[in-house]
Structure 1
Amino acid sequence: MELPRIVSVDDHVIEPAHLFERWLPARYRDRGPRPLTTGIGRLEYTGGRYTVAMDPDGPPADWWIYEDLAAPYKRVIAAVGFDRDEMTLEGITRAEMRPGCWDPAERLKDMDLNHVEASLCFPTFPRFCGQTFAEAHDKEVALACVRAYNDWMVEEWCGDSGGRLIPLCLIPLWDVDLAVAEIHRNAARGVRAVTFSELPTCLGLPSIHTGYWDPFFAACQETGTVVNMHIGSSSQMPAASPDAPPAVQATLSFNNAMASLADFLFSGVLVRHPRLTLAYSEGQMGWIPYALERADDVWREHRAWGGVRDLVPEPPSTYYYRQVFCCFFRDKHGIEALDTVGRDNATFETDYPHVDSTFPHTRQVALDHVRGLDDETVRKLMRGNAIRMLGLDLDPMGG
């Protein structure tokens, strides 16, 4: 079977050490993020959170120092090139990483090795939707950092890629008016993707039910900007017990995406903004059929007392099929349920360079999933749906 070249809707970038020195205005640099290479101490995982400290005598790692935050890069987020049993929570320097983690020219080479034509990349140091800057004390500098990151993303990371690296920008999460302005600023230079929190209340922000975010959603609808929500963009991952190992979180990670989808389906947001597009990143898709079945059943049987009788006029699945995209990288159960997941709603990802990445075997992994599907469906899953979702200037048939 001939597999078309892939358009991956969820990859990641490790920020280069020069990012803020080069892109942050000079008047903010002494208060902005600074790179540092130093030793890392023992990393501990307790109650669903990681704690780590610097240790000059420990193994070297590359860090970002910003206000009272010291954030090291860990091997699991730059795992490509390591054996499976070496993909640990140990610190790592950029010199130890595969250069495609942070160098755009090298990333394009790795994409060629991995049967990938185009890639949308989430941030690392800012965290998945810019929580690092939302938590900062000095919001003037934080806003400058958001803009600097976006300028770097558009002009340096994606700039010389010929459209193969797709810009994904941040917003200042703490101010919806500033967020709207940033959507318009980036849309004017061709950006069609923004990252947002799956569950903003977990970040201490207003919920999507309050109407607070409606100007942001309206701006995204007006500009054709896709709202991308990565698992973990609520700064928490589900765990069954506070002392459960990280493997439990990894198994349950789709739960946040499922909770977020239910939130949107019953919020009225997709009713009020019928051309708004949502994309769930790294959440897989095998859970979607039952989530839609349950949502529709609740709407039919419980909408009066459930508070949505006058808010959601059609079965919730109507809005999912019209406005929501999911993605997968290993999910054969989702493929078996593809007609319910939606042949026009599913996209593919490689998760480069994270521990879940299928690099450099993505072509074979994809083939194992799509064997037996018709050519049109394969093209939709591997590239066509992503091209349509993001409005890319790529041939849906090509590759």
Structure 2
Amino acid sequence: MDTQNPQATDQATLPLIISVDDHTVEPADVWQHRLPKKYLDTGPRIVRAPLKEMTFLGGRFKPLMGEPGDDGPIGDWWVYEDLHRPLTRLDTAVGYSRDEIKLEVITYEQMRPGSYDVPSRLADMDVNHVQSALCFPTFPRFCGQTFTEATDRELGLLCVRAYNDWMVEEWCGPDAHGRLIPLPLIPLWDPELAAAEVRRNAARGCRAVAFSEIPPHLGLPSIHTDDWDPFLQACAETQTVIAMHIGSSSRMPSTSADAPPAVGSTITFANCCYSMVDWLMSGKFERFPDLKVMYAEGQIGWIPYILERADVVWEENRAWGGVADKVHRPPSELFTEHVYGCFFDDAFGLKNLDSIGVGNVLYETDYPHSDSTWPKSREVGEAQMGHLAPDVVERIVRGNAIDLLGLTPDGLWEGPK
């Protein structure tokens, strides 16, 4: 499809955005209100305490909580079993200038209320020309690996279910008016339990689930094994898209243990690149032809070359490449039918849209993170998509998301049916 049009898109008519990658900062009471009483002292809870030390080097985030009375900046910390994880300015940076966004601990009072409060979030979406948004978690991390790394599996499963109940019933509940789209978690340590959780949430209208881009980095089986098949089968049967955010393997790309965060931030797409090649060469898309996956915050400009290279390898190395018996079609064809790339600021990718596919691209705003284009997501979209035909812009900004996430024609989540 030729996406270029000499009749450039009328910038004043950019459709309302459906963002497939925003984030929620969970309110302090999410688990305290939903866990059995015996788990309240070990389950996730907020403690206000000073920061002793914090580093972020080589893709590794290492905070150290101080004791009451210690010197140091005060922040709100999630405490869960032996884990101490502070809220930081990078969790919720909107409303601050770039020069003010630093790696520092904060309290709930020091963040924009839209980070955790539904009415305030909707107001901030209105400011940003956003109609609807799919939100990834913060404390559980991008695919719930916080609970996977915990010791008590029974408590971990209860935490996953409690988060999903909060997500469906409150964050995406009546006060959201269909504008917030649920993204449940799964117990990653057990594919059968994961399949059951997919089906439980699909029964109440959820059409997406968070998953790890590179499970072996979490000590879990790769997708080249059959271990994940119960989970994949459940996703295929329920039309649940597998949503993978950069960093959902608990390891951000970096080059050395002392590389500054700027190195990793430049190459964040690399995890998506590795993961997509895994999926294309796994044979899973042929075994589960209804399966769909999406890559949040990975941008799209890198995709054309990877598809070209994957096709060459599949064709020329088929005798020894280890995929001839399970990948029977060019990877680029499988991509077109099964994979979605997500972006919020990628002029290069949009200039090469014909090599990616109009139907394989979704838009996002990344609210409230430091990379977010809020409150100027509309302006960014207009500047980068002005050369595209209006129908193409509509598909990228909302149409593809409506189809993929099973939204109403008006772009809203209907909830349980």
- After TM superposition, the score normalised by the length of structure 1 is 0.98
Q: CA deviation at 1:241?
A: 2.2
Aligned to 2:153: 139
Q: CA RMSD in A?
A: 1.2
Q: What is the one-letter code of the residue matched to 2:321?
A: G
- 1:378 maps onto 2:389 in alignment: no
1:68 aligns to what? 82
Question: How far apart are the structure 2 equivalents of 1:9 and 1:45?
Answer: 27
1:50 counterpart (57, 61, 74): 61
Deviations 1:343-394 (A, max 9, x none): 0110100000000000111110110111021110000010001111111113
Aligned position for 2:277: 262
Q: Which residue of 2 aligns with 1:284?
A: 299
1:12 aligns with 2:23: yes
CA distance in 2, matches of 1:46, 1:336: 34
The structural deviation recorded for 1:38 is 1.5
After superposition, residues 90-169 of structure 1 pair within 5 angstroms as 90-160=104-174, 161-169=176-184
Query: SS in structure 1 opposite 2:90?
Result: helix
Q: Aligned letter for 1:81? A: G
Structure 1 partner of 2:218: 203
1:266-297: per-residue Cα shift (whole Å, max 9, x none)?
00001101110101000000000000000001
Cα displacement (A) at 1:229 = 0.3
Determine if contact 1:379/1:396 at 8 Å carries over to the other structure.
Answer: no
Q: Does 1:358 align with 2:373?
A: yes
Counterpart residue type for residue 14 of structure 2: L
Task: Give, in whole Å, the separation in 2 of the partners of 1:211 and 1:347.
Answer: 29
Query: Matched residues in 1 for 2:313 and 2:238: separation?
Result: 33
Provide TM-score, normalisation by structure 2. Answer: 0.94
Structure 2 unmatched runs, 5+:
1-10, 413-417
Contact 2:60 2:252 in 1 (8 A): no
Deviation at 1:396, TM superposition (A): 6.3
| C-alpha distance 30-396 of structure 1, shift in aligned 2 (>3 A) | closer
1:200-251 alpha-carbon deviations (Å, 9 max, x no partner) = 0000000100111011011001011110000000100111222111100000
One-letter amino acid of the structure 2 residue matched with residue 178 of structure 1? L
Q: Specify the SS of the correspondent of 1:78.
A: coil
| Comparing 16-25 and 182-191, the one that deviates more | 16-25
- Dislocated runs of 4+, deviation >3 Å: none
Tell me the residue number matched to 1:344. 359
Q: Which amino acid aligns with 1:286?
A: G
**Deviation string, structure 1 residues 66-107 (Cα, Å, up to 9, x no partner):** 111000011011000111011111001111100000001110
Q: CA deviation at 1:137?
A: 0.4
Deviation at 1:127, TM superposition (A): 0.4
Percent same amino acid among aligned pairs?
57
Higher RCO, Cα 8 Å, sep 6+: 2
Amino acid at match of 2:144: G
Residue 31 of structure 1 deviates from its aligned partner by 2.3
CA contact (8 A) 2:58 2:261 kept: no
Matched, 1:327 2:348: no
Structure 1 residues 376 and 208, CA gap change in structure 2 (3 angstroms):
same
Matched residues in 2 for 1:58 and 1:8: separation? 37
Aligned to 2:4: none
